[in-house]
Each structure stands twice: as structure tokens, then as C-alpha cells.
Structure 1
Amino acid sequence: MKTAQDFLVEIPVLKNSDQITKARQILRDERFREVYVVDAKKNLLGYIDLTDGLRVTATKSNVTVEGFVKDAPMVNPEDSIEQVAKTMRSFHTDSVAVIDSTRHMRGGILLSDLFPVIISRNELHGTVASRMNTKVVAADPTDELQKIQALIMESGFTAFPVIKKKQLIGIISRRDLISTKRVRSAIAQHAHTTVEDVMTREVVTITPDEPVKYAAELLVKHDVSRLPVLNGDALVGILDRHDILAALA
């Protein structure tokens, strides 16, 4: 039986006194959506995520991570991968910390590594319509990036389909706002930079009547974390990897 130990990887960690700009530098890496915070003995204190990295937009800042730290998802090395997936789903994170009995952090597990294995080992039930989130907040291509930043903070959503004349033309996520200095500077300086300037234009979609299993296969094949759901041209929902995990037998 595969356990958490089999998926353990070394991941960057921070101290409470580290500046938020250091966290942001780590979070710009495509692999990481969370960074874990430890004490001097490498005992787990909590984590911060991409949304926290967006709260401070200045290129240089003395703000530390301490004020942003949240309770972290954690598992033990001997836990089953199903338990690991359940923990990620509960915290809605894309990783978990792996700790020993004293909370000493041994490393982490990334959902991107676990997801292909977990869906191959378990039956997935239902259709996309039965699992998708229908409370979708869409962005307009002319929206300024400051509006999207505010939406992320207020709504808790991490990505927004972009709609123009009732057609899906792209998607914009936290990653798009944090990945380059140019974009971060545009937000900090309230420059007129719009969603259309930075959004991802090639979007993989699915229809509501497709099986969840097929949706999971699309997520793995295209290495994406979410799929807008279209009924004809109409956007009716969005399905992400956590929704898939909820469909496990």
C-alpha cells in the first residue's frame, strides 16, 4: 500500500521573521501554491499561500510572513494516500506538510504529484454536473488587475473565467498576478493593465454531462488544476481537482 512517505518531497520553508517578498519568490515557482512556516527546530507552525503573497504588492517590503500564517494541513509518513487526499480536500490546499510525532517537518506532498495516482486507484462516481461548482465569478477582459486582486481577497476564489460577449475567452488566476515583476508592479502602481493583457487564452473545457472520470483524465493530460464547464457556449460551472477528490469512492 502506498503511503505518504512514497510521495514525500523536499519543499522550501520559511521562518516567521522572513519577509513576505521571500515567500512570494518561492510562490512564483509553478510547483508551489503554499509555503510552510517552521520554527528554529523546523517544527511546523503553519503555512501561507498565493493569496497571502498577493496581499503585499510592493517590490520591496519589510512586512514579514508572521501575520499571515494559518493552521497547516499535515499528515504522518505512514498515512495512506487516500488520507493525504482527504486532508488536502479538507483544507482546499494543493499540498500537505509531512510531520513526525513532534511536529518536526520532514517535507511535503504536492497534489500535482498525488492526483494522477489517486484517480487511478479509486473509482470516480457521477457526472461533471453533480460535482462542479456553479457559483462562478467571471471576469471581464477590460477589468483592471486591481479589481481581480480584490476579488481574490474577498471571494476566496483562486481563478476567474474571462467572458466577452457571453463567450469564454480565457482564464485568470492568482498565478498570473504574482508570476512577473511587471504585473506585480502594475497592481502596486495602479497602472491601467487589464485582464486581457495577462490572462491565459488557451483554456481546456468540459461539458456538464461528461463523467467525472473523464474530467480527471483531462486535468492530468493537460496538467491543469481546473476546467470551466460549458453548456454550449454558456459557462455553467467550474470543476477543479478538489471537486474530483470529493468524488472518490
Structure 2
Amino acid sequence: MKRAQDFIVEIPVLKPSDRMTKARQILRDDRFREIYVVDAKKGLLGCIDITDGLRVTATKSDVTVEGFVRDAPAASPADTVELVAGMMRQYHTDSAAVVNGKRQVTGGVLLADIFPVIISKNELHGPVSKYMTMKVISAQPSDNIQKVYTLIMDSGFAAFPVVEKKKLAGVISRRDLISHTRARSAIAQRSNARVGDLMTRDVVVVSSGEPVSTAAELLVMHDVSLLPVVDRDQLVGVINRHDVLAALA
């Protein structure tokens, strides 16, 4: 049985007084989607995520992390990976802090690291259609980047399918917006940069009638967090790692 201690990685942490521009730099350059916030004794206070990093658009800003901290999952080293994944689902995160008996952060566990282990050791039941999200918010290639930015801020979703003439054209994500200089400039200056210029065009898809285990395998094989669900060239939904984990119950 695999436990959190088998997957602990060193994670960046911030203090409440640190600036959001520092958080944004970490989120832009590293694989992490959350950063954990600690007190002077490394006690866990909470976390911030990529969406929070996008909220501060100025290149220079005195806005601090403190105003963005939210509750975060905290695992003990002995917790099973299934239990840790359940915490991530509960808190809608892609990681969990690992803490000692004093709730001091000693590291973290990433969903991307434990997901392959969980799906290989547990049987997944049902078709993709049972677990996918059908009410999909989508963008168009011609949409202004500012529109996608607003969608992310309002919905909290991490990525959106891009649809053109009712067919899937690509995917655009929070990571695209925070990583690309052009996107950040477009958001800050409200310029007319378009979704089609930044979206990922080579997208892996799954159909609604396929087993959810197939979706899980594709998520692992291509190291992506979300799959558009396409039937007869039409986008009918999306499925992500958290959705797949629901099939374990």
C-alpha cells in the first residue's frame, strides 16, 4: 500500500507578507498549481493557486499573499495515496501539503504523481459519460484573451475547450495565461490578443462511451489534467483527474 511518505516532494512555501508577484513567478516557472502559505514556524496556514496568481496583473505590485489564502489539504506521511487524493478532491486542489504532528509543512504530494499509482491499483467502473462534466464553458479562437481571463476568474475552472463551428479546435488553460508573456501583457493592458494565438491545438480526446479507465490511461500517458469528450466531432463534455477519481467509489 502506497502512502504519502512515498511521494513527498519539496514544495515552495510563502509567508503571508510575501508579495503576490513572487507567488506568480513561482507558479509561472514551476510545475506547481498551488503554493502553500506558512507562519514563522512553518505551520500550515493555507494555500493560493494559479487563479490567485492571475488576479494581480501589474508587473510591480505591493499586494501580499495574505489576502488570498484559503484552506488547504493537509496529509500525514502515513496517509494512503487514496486518502490523500480524496483530500485533494474535497479541496479542489492538485496537491496536498504533508505536515508533522505540529502541522508544520515538511513537503507536499502532487496529484500528477499519485494518480498513475491509484488508477493502476484500483478498478475503475463505468463509462466516461457517467463522470464527465457536461455543462462545459467554452471559448472561441476569435475571443479576446480578456474574455478567457474573466471566465477563469468567475468560474474557477482551470481550462476551457476552444470550439470553432461546433468542433473542438483546442484548449486554453490558466497555465497558458500565466506562462506566456503575451497573455500577461494582454490581460494587464486589455489588448486584443486572441485565444487562437495561445491555445494548445494538438489535443487528446476521449468519447463518452469509452470506459472511464481509458480516460484515466490517456490522462497518464499524455500527462494532461483534462480531456475533452468528443462524440461524432461534437464536444459533449470534459473529464479531468478529479472526475476519474470519483469512479473509485
Report if TM-score (shorter chain) is over 0.5.
yes
Q: Retained in 2: the 8 A contact 1:58–1:185?
A: no
Output one character per residue of 1:200-248: Cα deviation in whole Å (capped at 9) or x when no partner. Answer: 1110000000001111000111111110001111111000000011111
- Counterpart position of 1:154: 154
Aligned to 1:12: 12
Equivalent residue letter for 1:34: E
TM-score (norm 2): 0.98
Match of 2:42 in 1: 42
Cα RMSD of the aligned pairs, angstroms, is 0.9
Q: Is contact 1:4-1:76 (8 Å) kept?
A: yes
Q: TM-score, normalised by structure 1?
A: 0.98
Q: State the partner residue of 1:245.
A: 245
Q: Which residue of 1 aligns with 2:235?
A: 235
What does residue 174 of structure 2 align with? 174
Runs of 4+, deviation exceeding 2 Å: none
Separation (CA, whole Å) in 2 of partners of 1:146 and 1:66:
26
Q: What is the Cα deviation at residue 135 of structure 1?
A: 1.1
Residue type of the alignment partner of 2:91? F
Letter in 1 for 2:86: K
Stretches of structure 2 that go unaligned for 5 or more consecutive residues are none
Distance in 1 (CA, whole Å) between partners of 2:211 and 2:6 is: 29
Q: Superposed, which structure 2 residues align to 1:1-249 within 5 Å?
A: 1-249=1-249
Shift of 1:198: 0.6
- Counterpart of 2:188, as a letter, is A
- Work out the CA distance in 2 between the residues paired with 1:133 and 1:30: 28
What is the one-letter code of the residue matched to 2:215?
A
Q: Is the 8 Å Cα contact of residues 59 and 185 (structure 1) preserved in structure 2?
A: no
Q: Deviations over 1:163-193 (max 9, x none)?
A: 1111111010100100022221111011110
**Partner SS state of residue 230, structure 2:** strand
Residues 47-102 of structure 1, C-alpha deviations (whole Å, 9 max, x = no match): 00000001011111111110000011111111111101111111111000001121
Separation (CA, whole Å) in 2 of partners of 1:91 and 1:232:
34
Q: How many residues align?
A: 249
Distance of 2:75 and 2:141 partners within structure 1:
41
Matching residue's letter, 2:73? P
Aligned AA for 1:237? G
Extract unaligned runs of 5+ from structure 1: none
Over the matched positions of the two proteins, sequence identity in percent amounts to 66
Query: What is the CA–CA distance in structure 2 between the aligned matches of 1:181 and 1:109, rounded to whole Å?
Result: 29
**Alpha-carbon separation, structure 2, partners of 1:30 and 1:244:** 25
- Answer whether contact 1:205 1:228 (CA < 8 A) is retained: yes
CA drift at 1:30: 4.8
